[in-house]
Structure 1
Amino acid sequence: MTPLLTRPLSSQSTARRTAVATLLVLCGVASLSACGKTISIGDTSSPASSAPASSAAPSSPSASASAATSGQGAGNSALQVVDTTAKDAGLSGTGGTVVGAAVQEAPPKWVQLSAVTSTTLSSPHLININQAALYRFDNDTASPSKSACNDACAVKWPPVTIQEGGNVYLAGVNPKDVGAIRREDGQVQITVGGWPVYRFSGDTGPGDLNGQGVGGTWFAVGPTGDKATS
């Protein structure tokens, strides 16, 4: 599939610069919370904390790496959801996120969720830092959050995982909608609106949406966990 041009539905500062009405509307929703929050595994509805996002975001890549691997005590699985982009937090690179069918050997140190629109899907939908489309599965449940995609399914549809103690950066997504679950294999998977989030191994380039509508159960995921359909 020919890579598509995507337009970011970004954080508050970028939203003020865009003239696209749909982006403005959604960024307006995201900007209701200018704070980050701390979540633990199984937490899908914790309110945003009162600390500013800037205090949650590390000031340098080295600080981020330390924060992403240290946690907050023995056995602590807390994650930081930060209402800013990785770039604005002083980070570069991918955090360890892979592309397409590549096996995610180790969970990324950090993950970014960005809301965009594309030429083939006008509804806002999420991509990761590699601009890979993210999906949700109708056979999963959002309340409680639980993944039904394991083993061979998880090879075809790799879950969006993260290191315990890692950071989730956002652009056009409200921190209150972000959570995390413990998968059957013990890894930590990010949820949006309670729905576990995945990549598709058949997407190899930025803007690919080859997983959209597969089996009538897989759909691009919107910034609140909704199905993104044309």
Structure 2
Amino acid sequence: MKPFAFLAAALLISSAAHAADPLKKSDGILVDDKGMTVYTFDKDSANSGKSACMDGCLKLWPAVPAPAEVAAPYSAITRDDGMRQLAYKGKPLYYYAKDSKAGERSGDNFKDVWHVVKD
């Protein structure tokens, strides 16, 4: 391996190792640092870089903001409004506005298209 390629690979590995996981697992599902449940939307296509939840949808299902640095299995998409939204395994992530405290999962299976993220 050429010295430059080795250095570039080492930097990539190093920055991936330093990017903290933006979510954690609680009772088998992903939650944020405050314990709020995150969801996926069946109408979103994994790895498309797009969200199908727009306008009024976002009032009930706010997008989870992406931190500056993310590492696999997380990624970020840029929404049409310019916001960076966190994605997990290529699927954009959302909160449910009616979940008012940590651990609530009242949006799970809402209209059979919204689901908690099981890791």
TM interval, shorter chain, is: 0.7 to 0.9
Residue 49 of structure 2 contacts residue 78 of structure 2 at CA under 8 Å; is this kept in 1?
no
Aligned counterpart in structure 2 of residue 179 of structure 1, from 61, 75, 83: 75
Letter in 1 for 2:57: C
1:49-70 Cα shifts (integer Å, max 9, x gaps): 32173xx3xxxxxxxxxxxxxx
SS in 2 for 1:141: coil
1:114 and 2:18 correspond: no
What are structure 1's unaligned runs of at least 5 residues? 1-47, 57-80, 84-111, 118-123, 169-174, 224-230
CA positional deviation for 1:167? 4.2
Match of 1:65 in 2: none
Letter in 2 for 1:201: A
CA positional deviation for 1:115? 1.2
Moved over 4 A (4+): none
Match of 1:148 in 2: 52
Match of 1:67 in 2: none
Alignment of structure 1 residues 39-188 onto 2, 5 Å: 49-51=12-14, 53=17, 56=18, 81-82=19-20, 112-117=22-27, 124-162=28-66, 166-168=68-70, 175-188=71-84
Match of 1:219 in 2: 115
SS in 1 for 2:85: strand
CA positional deviation for 1:158? 0.4
The size of the alignment, in residue pairs, is 108
Q: CA RMSD in A?
A: 1.9
Residue 62 of structure 2 contacts residue 96 of structure 2 at CA under 8 Å; is this kept in 1?
yes
1:60-94 Cα shifts (integer Å, max 9, x gaps): xxxxxxxxxxxxxxxxxxxxx325xxxxxxxxxxx
CA positional deviation for 1:157? 0.3
SS in 2 for 1:82: coil
CA positional deviation for 1:177? 0.9
SS in 2 for 1:50: helix
Letter in 2 for 1:160: V
CA positional deviation for 1:176? 1.9
Match of 1:92 in 2: none
1 CA distance for matches of 2:56 and 2:41?
15
1 CA distance for matches of 2:66 and 2:47?
21
What are structure 2's unaligned runs of at least 5 residues? 1-10
Residue 66 of structure 2 contacts residue 76 of structure 2 at CA under 8 Å; is this kept in 1?
no
TM-score (norm 1): 0.44
SS in 2 for 1:209: coil
Residue 150 of structure 1 contacts residue 184 of structure 1 at CA under 8 Å; is this kept in 2?
no
CA positional deviation for 1:161? 1.1
Letter in 2 for 1:176: A
